[in-house]
Structure 1
Amino acid sequence: MSLSLYLAQVVGLYLILMGLILLVKRQAMMRVVTEMAKNRALIYTICVIELAAGLALVVAHNVWAWNFQVIITIVGWLLLLEAVAYLMLPYRVFTKWVSWLNKKSVYWIGGFLAVALGLYLTNIGFNLF
């Protein structure tokens, strides 16, 4: 199995699960994000983990072909860029950014987008259809 197909399976399933969680547990997730934004140590820890995941994806799979592989590459770059931005932003700016994004509409859009991309990647990764 190629690395791209393996990552399509892993990233696809992750996106489906997280997208469904965002849609089904939207209110709970909004409370979690609000509380998380108050804890600098937790923010740092999450960002360092996100940085490692983003670096791993970018180094292992930096493929800019115009097919499913580019989605995996973009996910890796988004993880990496978000982690670096959050680690470098002043805390005041970070909390404003989080409060701006912590809205029902963002969870709906993000959840549906994640599920759609996840279904697409999972279909390719597992050769379902």
Structure 2
Amino acid sequence: MQTSIFLAKLIGPVMLAAAIGLLVNREGYRAMSRDFLDSPPLIYVSGVLVMTAGIAIVLYHNVWALDWRVIVTLFGWMGAIGGAVRIISFSWVKRVGVAMLGKPWAMTIGGVVWLVIAAVLCFYGYFA
């Protein structure tokens, strides 16, 4: 449980700041996303970093309980898999990213989902 709380305290505030930033500055994040997708080396390097962080989380927190801790585990697995996809096929990542940017509400929906998950992690990390 201590590992779960530590990771919730670590991941929650970062996700919260990113979600709020996305919701408050949608056009800025859209422009930043376009720039990111135009840089295969940046996609690759982010894949290395995200995969490393995801594997670290999975190695120390592979908890499949029917409670809030599974969010941390899923976050780790998504990082490991998402990072690997960025490393292996950055051109596919660009195609999917550009398609998502073409949907006007995709970033808002993503921001709201991240905000809710971040709030849950912050709650259990800091207040529960």
Return the TM-score normalized by structure 2.
0.91
User: 1:118: how far off?
Assistant: 1.1
Gap regions ≥5 residues in structure 1: none
Find the aligned partners of 1:85 and 1:61 in 2 and give their Cα distance. Answer: 21
Aligned-partner SS, 1:66: coil
Q: Is the 8 A contact 2:34 2:98 kept in 1?
A: yes
User: 1:90: how far off?
Assistant: 5.7
Structure 1 ranges of 4+ moved more than 6 A: none
Which amino acid counterpart does residue 63 of structure 2 have in structure 1? V
Aligned to 2:117: 117
Q: Is the 8 A contact 1:37 1:95 kept in 2?
A: yes
**Cα deviation 1:35-77 (Å, max 9, x = unaligned):** 1111121111111111111111111111000111100000111
Find the aligned partners of 2:59 and 2:90 in 1 and give their Cα distance. Answer: 28
Alignment of 1:18-37 (within 5 A): 18-37=18-37
Which amino acid counterpart does residue 94 of structure 2 have in structure 1? T
Q: Is the 8 A contact 1:26 1:104 kept in 2?
A: no
User: 1:98: how far off?
Assistant: 1.0
User: How many residue pairs align between the two structures?
Assistant: 127
Return the TM-score normalized by structure 1.
0.90
State, as a whole percentage, how many aligned pairs show the same letter: 26
Farther-moved stretch of structure 1 (14-23 vs 82-91) = 82-91
Aligned to 1:101: 100
Find the aligned partners of 1:23 and 1:114 in 2 and give their Cα distance. Answer: 10
Find the aligned partners of 2:88 and 2:82 in 1 and give their Cα distance. Answer: 10
Q: CA RMSD of the aligned region, Å? A: 1.5
Find the aligned partners of 1:94 and 1:121 in 2 and give their Cα distance. Answer: 27
